[in-house]
Amino acid sequence: MERDILTLFRNRENYDRFCYLVTEGVLSWEGWNIIQGYKRYFKDHPDVEEINLLDFRTEFKFNNLGKFNKEKLEQYDRIFLELSTHVISKATTEDIIAKFIELDYAHKIHEASLNIVSKSEKNDISDIEKLLSDYNREITKYTKEDTALVTTDIYKLLEATIGGTGYNWRIHNLNESIGPIRRGNFVVVGARPDSGKTTFLLNEATYIASQLDPDQCILWLNNEEVGEKIGRRIIESGSGFTTAQLRDDPLGGIEKFKEMVGDLSKIKVIYQSVMSTREVERWCKKYKPSVIIFDQLWKVTGFEKEVANETGRQAQLFAWARSLASQWGPVLVVHQLGGPAEGEKFPPMSALYGSQTGIQGEADAIIIIGRSADPRDGDTRFFSIPKNKMGDGKYVKPGMRNARFALNIKPDIARYEDVGTYTIT
């Protein structure tokens, strides 16, 4: 282990980050002196990122001529010879660095805890939650570092981006325009209040759930409607039962849901009026979702201390949600449209609440649901796709990238119904 540490700490980044965790009693006296030698070497050579052992050996012996006798210097020569041929396996390197990361955060959490106990204003309990979240994010990124490297296998590239993998939409117009939704995709759905956002989520969640394997699930994070109401509407959307039918025949509704979708546990609903990014990350680790739904993302707390205003916080929040899509599975987010969009069939993308925060930039696709002010349009909803970076592959029709189309909303069974016509822009 000592030779491993001495080898890893020849890297400046490792040394600067973790050297304080290695105390004198952890290493032999000789190992401790070499670590102190690293400290001096990095200070004297600020541009060096990786210590050359031959150069270091020469300086180390020169700096310690008056401190060590001939026998001790010969002992160090033997150590340096061993280090020059010492090879650490990838697995061992990962284990050691992971342990150092764990100890580093443990020290930070310990210090923050002492500040809280002493009633210092430096820290509160949210700082500990953030440290735990940062630790989980870093250790996951570190242990999965190789997965960040994009494959050069042409078949895997095609399969991941334009192949048949992914989940189809219940709304066939979206299959024609956006195509299957896959891991890494971040889709924003915008609409005015009471225009059919939640019905859209129900319509698609129950259909996507029917495509999941038995051990997969959708994680529905809800801070809008009461959780039990969403739970009931999921059953209605999946089974096609109205509320009255479900009340009269609840077991029949459940059986129909299982027939059409599968087990009820495929869609796990978390209801909490106020939820934080750290809580969301914990739920993701617990349930390992294949698809994540936010209703509504902008209300999730997080990044308040990292940025000075709400605009910056929203930008970080949406970037964070996009990272969840890469880590777990596609993310669907519903978002409010501003007041000027009221009564408009096809509101512009700029009508998204807080669109100046970078929401538009983070999204792979933006779906806008408009509702006409004309009472003759009744239950008709108007869909447009002003942004679409997903429309590639054999399932997407030419000219449908930024399609506009109309659907009828069926609130009694939480679904949308195709009216058979649409226009292409």
Q: What is the mean pLDDT of the chain?
A: 86
Residue 158 inside a domain? The answer is no
pLDDT at 144: 53
pLDDT at 209: 96
* Whether pLDDT at 423 is above 60: no
pLDDT at 86: 85
Q: Tokens standing for 296?
A: 């509504």
Band of residue 420 on the pLDDT scale cut at 50, 70, 90: low
pLDDT at 213: 92
pLDDT at 392: 62
The verdict on 16 and 104 lying in the same domain is no
Averaging pLDDT over each range in 257-261, 315-319, 360-364, which range is the top one? 257-261
> CA distances (Å), 179 to each of 78, 385, 390, in order?
63, 12, 7
pLDDT at 205: 97
The verdict on 130 and 42 lying in the same domain is no
pLDDT at 353: 78
The verdict on 312 and 176 lying in the same domain is yes
Edge-to-edge strand list for the sheet holding 415-423: 267-271, 218-222, 291-295, 331-336, 186-191, 365-370, 380-388, 404-410, 415-423
The verdict on 257 and 167 lying in the same domain is yes
Residue 155 inside a domain? The answer is no
Q: Which residue has the higher pLDDT, 374 or 132?
A: 374
The pTM (predicted TM-score) of the whole model is 0.67
Which of residues 60, 88, 116 is at a domain's end?
Answer: 88
The parent domain of residue 79 ranges over: 2-88
Read off the pLDDT of each residue in 121-135 and give the average, rounded to a whole number: 81
* Whether pLDDT at 233 is above 70: yes
pLDDT at 424: 45
Tally the domains of the chain: 3
How far is residue 218's CA from residue 291's CA, in Å, rounded to a whole number?
5
